[in-house]
Amino acid sequence: MAHTATAADTHHDAHAHEHHGPQGILKYLWSTDHKMIAMQYLFTGIAMGLIGAYMAYVFRMQTAFPGVNVPGFGQVSPGEYNSLITNHGTIMIFWVAMPVLVAAFGNFLIPLMIGADDMVFPRINRLSYQVFLLSAIVLIVSFFVPGGGFGGAWTAYPPLSAVAEYNQTNLGSSLWLLAVALEFVAFLLGGINFITTLMNSRAPGMRAYDIPLVCWMIVIASILFMLSVGPLIAGAVMLFFDQTLGTGFYDPARGGDPVLWQHLFWFFGHPEVYVVLLPAIGITIDVIATFARKKVFGYKLMLYTTVATGVLSFFVWAHHQFIAGIDPRMANVFTITTLLISVPIAELCFVIIATLYGGSIRLTTPMLWALAFMAEFLIGGVTGIFLGASGADIYFHDTYFVLAHFHYTFFPIAIIGTFAAFTYWFPKMFGRMMNDTLGKIHFWGTIIPFNIIFIPLFVLGIGGEHRRIYNYEHFPELAGEGMFMLRQIATVALLVMLIFQVVFFYNCYVSWKKGEKAGKNPWKANTLEWTTESPPPHGNWPEGLPNVYRGPYEYGHPDRKEDYWPQNQPS
Amino acid sequence: MAFPKPQATLRSATGIPTGRLAVWWLLASEVVIFGGVLGSYLMHRLGHPEWAEAASHTNTWIGAFNTFVLLTSSFTAVLAHQAAEKGDGKKAAGFLVLTIGGALTFLMVKSYEWTVEILEGFTITANGFWSFYYTAAGLHALHVIAGAIIMGIVAADAYRGRELQRVELIGIYWHFVDVVWIFLFPLLYIAK
Amino acid sequence: MAEHHDQHGAHGAGHDEHAGHHPNYKKIYFTLLGLLVVSVVGPVFGIVWVTLISAFGIALVKANLVIQNFMHLKWEKRIAKWFLTASLVLMALFVGGVSVDVLNHEGNNWENIAAQAAVERGLAAAAGEEVVEEEAAEPVDVGFNAPNMFNLVCASCHGAAGDGKGAAGLALDPRPANFTDPAFWAERDRARIVNVITNGGASVGRSPLMVGWSASFSAEQIEQLADYVETFRPGA
């Protein structure tokens, strides 16, 4: 067996240092261990995800059945409706997709996959989580202050977000902005850690091209985040002064410019899409290579394509502003760059398909999630072409078509990608296998309703339905019976999907309590995290950190009896 | 109660020590933060010729004196690094204390300057120029304060001969704060 | 394998290969001070391009001296230079992409009227006798027009026709006031109209969603709005 060989090639001078940290409950809250911090991020992210899902449930009920007394909430007022949709978007992107995909899996996987005993700066890592937790608390507090939570959409365009007379949520909008700024600080701290760890702390023998792609992707995502968020931090400070001190940074009558905020926001906002997309693609490619038992097609091609995607993602931001009053000549430029970026993304999809081609595919639960990611994300990508072309976007802008498009990208990223990773690494995180049957029930119970939610929304969008309307009964041309039926179908599908998530939590609990013991390497995978105990102890490899001899995807090598070849096994 | 450093921190696959690599990345992220403020300011300033009148009320002499203070503190910071490289923690700590003195001088001059300006009615809401003036210089002043605090911690460690490599790291950060001011000075004071 | 590990675990004490390159710090410091003097003296001549060079050209030289010698970037590994350059290039990209909209106040089929007006006001104020700054910043009355203002801020709920059927008002309960309804006028006088516009609906026990406008409009302007509201009165 492969893992018995690992002990022989470890070096014995790696002092498994003792943990001097605090004991008891503080051991969990105050731990500097990267796996513990990953868990904290994961569970906080899931908790915030449940809050975001609850918000979606409330406002979908209001759109499908206007004026209904929503069970568990009550009557939804227009202000509450705005606040719910705003905070649903904010939470799902900043407090679910980022902490789970980038921070939780980045923290868990990077040190394990590159053969290090921890992050390079464990205490900064802990600080990063604590600032993140603080930001989540500030956001939740902002719902309950007088005036209610901020309701100016997650993009927070001024003057609506800057002037209290307009948004009517004086305190709520300031707290919302503060929470987002704190969250950025948390991810800057975390990002520096990820990047430095990957650059400097690889196991001896591990070359740049021996790093598993998911680590590369998380680190490239962190670099994109670090280099794009700065202008928005500056812009947030300016918006905060507009809100609280009464400056006029975004007020044209006083020498400011509201379009400046849109530029600052989307200069970050578009790379942000790739910040969460790349880790999800990385997870998918790793899962697919393991379960297709096949080497990744074109490792370097994949890596360079990712870098190209990252670079191009800085050149497309103004496609969100085609009808916001930007100069039409710039709109032409940004249409071209936007259509260009679909080339590397398509290339990533082809690489994944080429990896599947001729493999001996095992349809385990994580593999189903990974394949679903590909299929659903493709729909999201293809519908994006319409929005990237400035001519078509004038019609589609701010309709349900946009909404359906970005849910077809963000749902695969944040939900499907997370489930693929969670089910794949669950044995490593908790030491036990997940129940496959329950996993598959949950999978189909999520994927089918997901499509039934959002395909009707494409139709509604093409029908001209604006996305931020409180009660469609007030607009005769949008209140037809057919359109209401589509909205109700989507809402019912959402309820079905939410109910099926109970299966997931039940499965987690049952598998965590009495699942089958996983052993070191249940999936017979190559990467380094599978060469240590499940769950890994403090310091990750108690008998010494591993050395690396080959790339991460050596499956089905013709000269070997086993169809896999762990990275740390000498030839 | 020294914190046990993981093996990961001691590795250096790029050839750059981990701490210094992280500081470079930190600076890259700072460049884009200040770039956002100064880029926005630059675009507005060029689009609003009337701001020249407001800008003419800034005090070039105070700005120049503060530039002198920061350049001098950068000089002492690099001397601290030189001492730390020779392993002389006490001398390094001494130079760091001088640098902190520079930071405090800078902040005192700044608060005098702002008090005078605010009393003259040039508050942050007076006009777009003053909004950017206080925001950009305030963001910079926050970095001066943070740098001075961290430098105090590093100096205390260095005095006992511990963590001498950090003298260089805080120095790099401090020089960056200096460089930001080198650009703020012409942008806010000289160009009138 | 043990020594292999030790190589990688080289202590990050800063004493790596770039140590030993020591520029003459004192010389660089005095050069910087000299450049500072030049940049302060530059504007004395009053020639624009001399000022630009002495201000920004010298800032670049000074920054470069500090970065290369004090921060030791000259001796740093290439990768650090790359990503620091990348961050600068991104800022250039940002300014380049945004300045078309923000720096300019007019372009292809668009103009930013508010910004142009702000520039004109500011220049006029600066040209006049030493105007104090706040005056220039005072939001200038661009001509208050009660019907236009009603359509802008009131009609979303009360309807452009004053019938209480504005798009945003449809969902409200209590219903927005219908100014065309004789029953409405039966129990209200002009003082009450002025009071509600000034202090909001809550002040008379009606909906708080009708906010007070005293912060936005002067008493005179509110009188004009009340005049306009009275034009909806049946038989007025």
CA angle A387, A392, A393 (to 5 degrees): 50
Q: Could you read off the pLDDT tens digit of each residue along chain A, which spans 571 residues?
A: 334 333 333 333 333 344 455 566 777 778 889 999 999 999 999 999 999 999 999 999 999 999 889 999 998 988 899 999 999 999 999 999 999 999 999 999 999 999 999 999 999 999 999 999 999 999 999 999 988 899 989 999 998 999 888 888 889 999 999 999 999 999 999 999 999 999 999 999 999 999 999 999 999 999 999 999 999 999 999 999 999 998 999 988 888 899 999 999 999 999 999 999 999 999 999 999 999 999 999 999 999 999 999 999 999 999 999 988 788 888 899 999 999 999 999 999 999 999 999 999 999 999 999 999 999 999 999 999 999 988 899 899 999 999 999 999 999 999 999 999 999 999 999 999 999 999 999 999 999 999 999 999 999 999 889 998 988 888 888 888 889 999 999 999 999 999 999 999 999 999 999 999 999 999 999 999 999 998 999 889 998 899 999 999 999 888 888 889 999 988 7
Q: Could you tell me which residues come within 8 angstroms of residue C139 by beta carbon, excluding any fewer than 6 positions away? A: A253, A254
For residue A43, give its domain range.
Answer: 25-531
Please report whether residue C76 resides in a domain.
yes
Positive or negative: CA dihedral A18, A20, A22, A28: negative
> Residues of chain B with pLDDT > 90: what percent?
83
Q: Which chains touch C (3 or more CB pairs under 8 A)?
A: A, B
Q: How confident is the model at residue C200 (pLDDT cuts 50, 70, 90)?
A: confident
Closest chain B residue to A14, measured at CA:
B7
- Are B129 and B45 spatial neighbours (Cβ–Cβ below 8 Å)? yes
Tokens of C176: 């927005």
> Which of B21, B26, B129 faces A199 most closely, judged by CB atoms?
B21
Please report whether residue A9 resides in a domain.
no
3-state SS, A211-242, equals: CCHHHHHHHHHHHHHHHHHHHHHHHHHHHHHH
CATH label of the domain that carries residue A476: 1.20.210.10
Contact A238 B28 (CB under 8 A): no
Residue A13 confidence (pLDDT): 35
Distance CA B117, CA B115 (A): 5
Contact B35 A249 (CB under 8 A): no
Chain C residues with beta carbon closer than 8 angstroms to that of A471: 170-171
Chain A residues with beta carbon closer than 8 angstroms to that of B135: 237-238, 241, 247
- Are B188 and B80 spatial neighbours (Cβ–Cβ below 8 Å)? no
Contact B11 A202 (CB under 8 A): yes
- Are A540 and A118 spatial neighbours (Cβ–Cβ below 8 Å)? yes
- Flag whether pLDDT at C177 surpasses 90: no
Kind and range of the H or E run holding A204: none
Position B137, amino acid: A
For residue C27, give its domain range.
Answer: 20-94
Please report whether residue A310 resides in a domain.
yes
Please report whether residue C78 resides in a domain.
yes
Tokens of A159: 């003057």
Q: Could you tell me which residues come within 8 angstroms of residue A109 by beta carbon, excluding any fewer than 6 positions away? A: A212, A214, A215, A218, A425, A529
CATH label of the domain that carries residue C214: 1.10.760
Query: Count of alpha carbons within 13 Å of A254, Cβ hemisphere only?
Result: 24
Chain A residues with beta carbon closer than 8 angstroms to that of B40: 231, 234-235, 238, 249, 260, 264
A136 touches chain B (CB under 8 A): no
Burial of A570 (0-12, 13-18, 19+ CB in 10 A): exposed
Q: Examine the domain organization and report whether C122 and C158 are in the same domain.
A: no
pLDDT, average across residues C185-213 = 82
Tokens of B151: 């430098």
Please report the residues numbered 100 through 139 in chain B whose beta carbons come closer than 8 angstroms to any beta carbon of chain C: 121-122, 125-127, 130
Chain B residues with beta carbon closer than 8 angstroms to that of A191: 25, 29
Q: Examine the domain organization and report whether C60 and C133 are in the same domain.
A: no
Contact B13 A188 (CB under 8 A): no
pLDDT, average across residues C69-79 = 89
Alpha-helical runs (H) found in A515-567: none
Q: Examine the domain organization and report whether C155 and C225 are in the same domain.
A: yes
Please report whether residue A551 resides in a domain.
no
Please report whether residue A520 resides in a domain.
yes
> Which of B12, B52, B57 faces C12 most closely, judged by CB atoms?
B12
Class of domain B18-190: mainly alpha
Chain C residues with beta carbon closer than 8 angstroms to that of A228: 90
Contact C94 A326 (CB under 8 A): no
Tokens of A146: 């007088």
Distance CA A421, CA A518 (A): 16
- Flag whether pLDDT at C127 surpasses 90: no
Q: Examine the domain organization and report whether C128 and C181 are in the same domain.
A: no
Q: Could you tell me which residues come within 8 angstroms of residue B145 by beta carbon, excluding any fewer than 6 positions away? A: B103, B107
Contact C134 B126 (CB under 8 A): yes
Strand partners, A564: A555
Chain C residues with beta carbon closer than 8 angstroms to that of B65: none
CA dihedral A430, A434, A440, A445 (to 10 degrees): -50
Kind and range of the H or E run holding B94: helix B89-119
- Flag whether pLDDT at C134 surpasses 50: no
A113 touches chain B (CB under 8 A): no
A260 touches chain B (CB under 8 A): yes
Angle of helix C190-199 relative to helix C219-230, nearest 10 degrees, comes to 130
- Are A330 and C108 spatial neighbours (Cβ–Cβ below 8 Å)? no
Tokens of A148: 């209610």
Across A294-298, B12-16, C190-194, least confident range: C190-194
Closest chain A residue to B48, measured at CA:
A255
Chain B residues with beta carbon closer than 8 angstroms to that of C11: 10
Interface residues of chain B, partner chain A, Cβ below 8 Å: 1, 3-4, 6-9, 11-14, 16, 18, 21-22, 25-26, 28-37, 39-40, 43-44, 48, 50-51, 124-125, 127-129, 131-132, 135, 139
Contact A227 C87 (CB under 8 A): yes
User: What is the total residue count of chain B?
Assistant: 192
Please report whether residue A307 resides in a domain.
yes
Contact A471 C107 (CB under 8 A): no
Number of A to C CB contacts under 8 A, please give it. 97
A248 touches chain B (CB under 8 A): yes
Please report whether residue C105 resides in a domain.
no
What pTM does this model have?
0.85
Please report the residues numbered 161 through 200 in chain C whose beta carbons come closer than 8 angstroms to any beta carbon of chain B: none
Residue A14 confidence (pLDDT): 38
Please report whether residue C80 resides in a domain.
yes
Contact A116 B6 (CB under 8 A): yes
Residue B130 confidence (pLDDT): 94
pLDDT per residue as tens digits for the range B123-133 = 998 889 999 99
User: What is the total residue count of chain C?
Assistant: 236
Chain B residues with beta carbon closer than 8 angstroms to that of C133: 53-54, 57, 121-122, 126-127, 130
Please report whether residue C99 resides in a domain.
no
Chain C residues with beta carbon closer than 8 angstroms to that of A231: 91, 94
CA distance C41 to chain A (A): 31
Tokens of B106: 């800078």
Please report whether residue A549 resides in a domain.
no
Q: Examine the domain organization and report whether C155 and C136 are in the same domain.
A: no
Domain extents for chain B? Answer: 18-190
Q: For C106, list phi and psi in degrees, rounded to 5.
A: -155, 160
Chain B residues with beta carbon closer than 8 angstroms to that of A200: 8, 11-14, 16, 18, 21
Distance CA B55, CA A255 (A): 14
Choose the final residue of a domain: C94, C126, C155: C94
